[in-house]
């Protein structure tokens, strides 16, 4: 038998064989007709191709096997869109003289068209046997038409699933390219930014007028702002590309000092004088202190910017023998429909007034928590306000895989 190479027919065979119920359908047809060979065939204006078969007759056709179209009744069914069913060919007034039963030695035959839901013709569901059949022709035709309709509907579902899978794959490729572009862009922006910073340092070494000194201050503030944005972009890209935010974990005895410094910096930058901080860390913590400072800065900056300015902000940081916990509380409520996405990138609520930043702060804080084997949760309601809670094992020996991927909002 020649090897089938037509890509369209190979695709049709694959589509049929992806339908899990096809073997059961063919067995059912064999049962209701008493036939020992049943098949689903793809029928075009030039070819007859078996897509799936059930054969206890020894007919010899397997998926991909082909018959000469003109020797079959299926070509007539394709053209007329009507079923052909007979139980005893040699006694039939029409089919006793037809060439198909004579060529293949058939006595019983049942074949019904398969249509896709859009009405296009696909092929046939058929059953044959060399012995006469003992069945009610009208009953068999109706039963097989129902099964053929089922196959047609399955084909439509498979087509839509394949199309959706292709679209999803394309979307993933686009997303990967976008994330790679963001990473490259963030990296390449560092060079011109460093040049600007070096130029500012050079200008600062020369005598300046008050106006020039004022402008230089703006330049330095802009450089610092850009440097922060680029860092956020690079951290975002690392998280999205699967590497996670890198951390340098080691025993640190200066974590409390680093976190207190963040509180002071946020107070100055935000102009908030109502931030209270309780920090109680005795001894060493196995962590990346600079990254935990970044986590606190992101959470505290978010609280200062988006919280209710009429209510104070509190920071509570404690470390016992097993774990480190960090809680940032502020007034105001995150809408319940926003909580589910609060740790996603670019998830900040859109408002009428433009806000600085890229909306990556909470996402990056969550990634830092993940990199430390910890968790970051949020609760928010109108009465108590909003609280972000970070927790992590204090010691290296306490880390375990159960802490991984444990970042989620807690709907309160």
Residue 395: per-residue pLDDT: 80
Are 300 and 395 in a shared domain? yes
| Domain tally, the chain | 3
Are 207 and 113 in a shared domain? no
Residue 115: per-residue pLDDT: 94
Are 213 and 195 in a shared domain? yes
Q: Is residue 411 part of a domain?
A: no
Q: Is residue 398 part of a domain?
A: yes
Three-class DSSP category at 13: helix
Summarize the confidence of residues 74-95 as an average pLDDT: 94
> Over the stretch 29-76, which tens digit does the pLDDT of each residue have?
999 999 999 999 999 999 999 999 999 999 999 999 999 999 999 999
Q: Which two tokens stand for residue 206?
A: 């020369």
Q: Is residue 245 part of a domain?
A: no
Residue 352: per-residue pLDDT: 40
Residue 274: per-residue pLDDT: 92
Residue 282: per-residue pLDDT: 84
Least confident of 97-111, 236-250, 312-326: 236-250
In which element (H, E) is residue 389 found?
A: strand 385-393
- Domain stop point among 119, 143, 164: 164
Residue ranges making up the domain that contains 181: 169-240
Are 267 and 153 in a shared domain? no
User: Using CA atoms, how far apart are residues 196 and 174, in angstroms rounded to an integer?
Assistant: 33
At 96, is the pLDDT very low, low, confident or very high (cuts 50, 70, 90)?
A: very high
Are 366 and 306 in a shared domain? yes
User: Using CA atoms, how far apart are residues 9 and 307, in angstroms rounded to an integer?
Assistant: 62
Are 144 and 191 in a shared domain? no
Q: Which residues pair with 129 in a beta bridge?
A: 108
Q: Is residue 178 part of a domain?
A: yes
What's the chain's average pLDDT? 83
Q: What is the pTM of this model?
A: 0.47
Residue 124: per-residue pLDDT: 96
Q: Is residue 126 part of a domain?
A: yes
- Domain stop point among 221, 240, 259: 240
Q: Is residue 412 part of a domain?
A: no
Three-class DSSP category at 223: helix
Are 258 and 349 in a shared domain? yes
């Amino acid at each position: 038998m020649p090897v089938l190479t037509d890509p369209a027919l190979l695709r049709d065979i694959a589509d049929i064989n992806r339908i899990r119920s096809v073997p059961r359908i063919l067995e059912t047809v064999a049962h209701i007709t008493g036939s020992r060979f049943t098949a689903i065939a793809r029928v075009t204006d030039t070819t007859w191709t078996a897509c799936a078969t059930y054969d206890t007759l020894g007919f010899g056709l397997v998926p991909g096997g082909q018959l000469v179209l003109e020797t079959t009744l299926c070509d007539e069914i394709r053209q007329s869109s009507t079923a052909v069913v007979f139980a005893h060919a040699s006694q039939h007034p029409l089919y006793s003289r037809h060439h198909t039963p004579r060529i293949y030695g058939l006595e019983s035959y049942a074949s019904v068209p398969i249509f896709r839901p859009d009405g296009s013709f696909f092929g046939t569901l058929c059953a044959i046997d060399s012995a006469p059949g003992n069945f009610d022709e009208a009953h068999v035709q109706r039963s097989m038409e129902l099964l053929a309709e089922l196959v047609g509907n399955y084909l439509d579902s498979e087509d839509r699933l394949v199309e959706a899978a292709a679209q999803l794959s394309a979307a993933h490729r686009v997303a990967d390219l976008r994330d790679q572009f963001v990473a490259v862009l963030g990296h390449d922006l560092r060079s011109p930014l460093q040049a600007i910073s070096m130029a500012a340092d050079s200008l600062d070494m020369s005598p300046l007028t008050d106006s020039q000194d004022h402008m230089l201050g703006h330049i330095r503030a802009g450089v610092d702002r850009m440097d922060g944005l680029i860092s956020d972009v690079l951290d975002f890209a690392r998280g999205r590309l699967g590497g996670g935010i890198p951390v340098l974990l080691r025993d640190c005895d200066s974590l409390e000092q680093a976190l207190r410094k963040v509180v002071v910096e946020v107070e100055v930058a935000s102009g908030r004088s109502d931030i209270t901080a309780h920090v109680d860390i005795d001894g060493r913590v196995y962590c990346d202190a600079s990254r935990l400072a970044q986590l606190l800065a992101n959470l505290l900056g978010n609280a200062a910017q988006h919280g209710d300015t009429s209510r104070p902000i509190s920071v509570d940081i404690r470390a016992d023998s097993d774990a480190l916990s960090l809680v940032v509380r502020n007034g105001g409520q995150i809408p319940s429909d926003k909580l589910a996405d609060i740790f996603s990138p670019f998830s900040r609520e859109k408002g009428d007034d433009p806000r600085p930043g890229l909306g990556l702060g909470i996402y990056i804080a969550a990634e830092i928590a993940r990199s430390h084997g910890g968790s970051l949760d949020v609760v928010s309601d109108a009465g108590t306000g909003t609280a972000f809670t970070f927790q992590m094992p204090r010691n290296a020996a306490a880390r375990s895989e159960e802490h991984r991927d444990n970042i989620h909002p807690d709907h309160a």
